[in-house]
Structure 1
Amino acid sequence: MLKPALSESTAKAPISWQQLAHGEWLRQQVCHVMAPFSDRIFGYHMARVGHLAKAVDLPDIRVKHQFSVAPQGQVDVRAEPTQWPFAEHALDAILQVGQLEFERDPHQFLRELTHSLIADGYLLYVGFNPLSPALLTGFWPSHLRQAPWSGRYFTKARIRDWLSLLNFEVVEHGYFAPTLLIEKLDPPDRGLQSLFKLLPKCGAMYYIVARKREYPLTLVKARKQSKARIATLPVANRTGDELC
């Protein structure tokens, strides 16, 4: 049974990659996996949600104004992700990395992202994978209050369900970064590359590339069929609505 998404209390999201075990390696993994999609994104405004997203290098994104958003710290805009100060349809793209896991109300968090995106705008989502063996290392007493284990994990399938309810179309998704998040392991993915090829779900992180869709209320095909039916009716049998 899934636990409720709404939480009474939350932990603080990391303010730098250095707070995570092998943080710089993880940051490079995010840059690598997001690079193939970055050249699709263009426009005027892009928000990077959280401190981790702020440090992700994506030089191929063709967006003139990119800015970081977080509740605290050295960012361009200080705001709660569940109470954004941005107007509807104001952003062309949003990059979110490891922030949802530390939100009290993740549903409201995603709704705010949805409202601020333009139609066909991109959401680049990166989260921590609860199906990864790295989750087990979080049970060590010294790790319980450290990021990312101090946050809450949501599966990729659950996030995809939430996004589908918000009229997002998932374009690409996958797992990456096979590691146990143990600092003593060098390299971080030692012994896990072969396992990752057989079981991709063991990656410590996952990504979702989604586009916001706004479908018309009346399908074009249905309207054509309606007009064809009206044309076959005698004029005396047509109602005022059908003649409009």
Structure 2
Amino acid sequence: MSIDNQTSPEQDWLSTALGMYLQSKEQELFDEAVANIFGFNAVQIGLLDIDLLRNSRIPYAYRADVNAGLLRCDSTRLPFLSNSIDLLVMPHGLDFSKYAHETLREAERVLVPEGYVIITGFNPFSSWGLKRFLLKRKGYPWRANFLTLLRIKDWLALLGLELVTTRMACYSPPFTSPKWLQKFRFMDKIAGKWCPMMGGVYFLVAQKRVVNMRLIKPKWKKSKLKAQLATAPRQTSQKQSQNSIHPDEIVKNDGE
């Protein structure tokens, strides 16, 4: 949360009926997704009024934003080493980035191989996108980029991020009146079934893939020795012991 006395436009909007509607829908999606991702380090960038990592099993979680959070940074310059983050959640991170492609490129840089990034954004081909057009991109959150899902998928492919899951949410028209918003909540079930791509918000999970990388897994199954094949210990002749090579010398020679 911000330490400033004055609330930000983001906080003011999130406290409205429409803002709380969006929070509830996105919280459900994140809670389900992060529970099945494992690792050591997780980072949430933006929308810090919602704890989107509360259901994560990753032990070390950080929160970052431009003007709030434990870490204050720009999304195009994250203060993390390359290949160091297992899970990166970016709620509307591309929507409010001046350089959205660079933000996504930076996300790819900090992710470990096989790490995950979760992104939400406003869908321009929805009633939410129509309201943005009518309001001429004035006010929060209507000044956001509203990038198309097709463009995001193209960027992910170029950066070597494989799309794992795509979902939509917030099918109710973006009414400011709590009464009208509640009346149209039924559309989350109806429109979600018959017009799944018309949701006001898209939710996607992508995984960082590394070409020619092969994970080495331990061999848990050991060969069973038959009793009749077991041999008795024997003494090694002095000549053989002199000609044998100690394991330490193998490591040393390999190191040289």
Question: TM bucket by the smaller chain?
Answer: 0.7 to 0.9
Structure with the greater relative contact order (CA < 8 A, sep ≥ 6): 1 or 2?
Answer: 1
* Deviation of 1:15 (Å): 4.9
Kindly indicate whether the alpha-carbon contact (under 8 Å) linking 1:13 and 1:99 is maintained by their aligned counterparts in 2: no
Shift of the 16–109 alpha-carbon distance from structure 1 to 2, 3 Å rule, reads farther
Shift of the 206–216 alpha-carbon distance from structure 1 to 2, 3 Å rule, reads same
Unaligned runs of 5+ in 1: 1-11, 219-244
Shift of the 208–16 alpha-carbon distance from structure 1 to 2, 3 Å rule, reads farther
Give distance in 2, aligned partners of 1:112 and 1:206: 21
Find the partner of 2:89 among 87, 95, 117. 95
Give distance in 2, aligned partners of 1:132 and 1:208: 17
Question: Which residue number corresponds to residue 176 of structure 2?
Answer: 183
Larger Rg: 2
Structure 2 residue matching 1:92: 3-state secondary structure:
strand
Unaligned runs of 5+ in 2: 1-7, 215-256
Give distance in 1, aligned partners of 2:122 and 2:143: 12
Question: CA-atom RMSD, angstroms?
Answer: 2.4
Whether 2:62 is the aligned partner of 1:67: answer yes
Shift of the 13–67 alpha-carbon distance from structure 1 to 2, 3 Å rule, reads farther
Aligned counterparts, 1:27-46, within 5 A: 27-46=23-42
* Deviation of 1:53 (Å): 5.2
Normalising by structure 2, what TM-score?
0.72
Percent identity over the alignment is 26
1:151-171: CA deviations, max 9, x gaps? 111111211110111111111
Kindly indicate whether the alpha-carbon contact (under 8 Å) linking 1:181 and 1:188 is maintained by their aligned counterparts in 2: no
- Equivalenced residue count is 204
1:24-66: CA deviations, max 9, x gaps? 121111121223322221222111011x155134433111111
Question: Which residue number corresponds to residue 172 of structure 1?
Answer: 165
Structure 2 residue matching 1:109: 3-state secondary structure:
helix
Aligned counterparts, 1:123-138, within 5 A: 123-138=117-132
Question: Which residue number corresponds to residue 101 of structure 2?
Answer: 107
Structure 2 residue matching 1:87: 3-state secondary structure:
coil
Structure 1 residue matching 2:58: 3-state secondary structure:
strand
Structure 2 residue matching 1:67: 3-state secondary structure:
strand
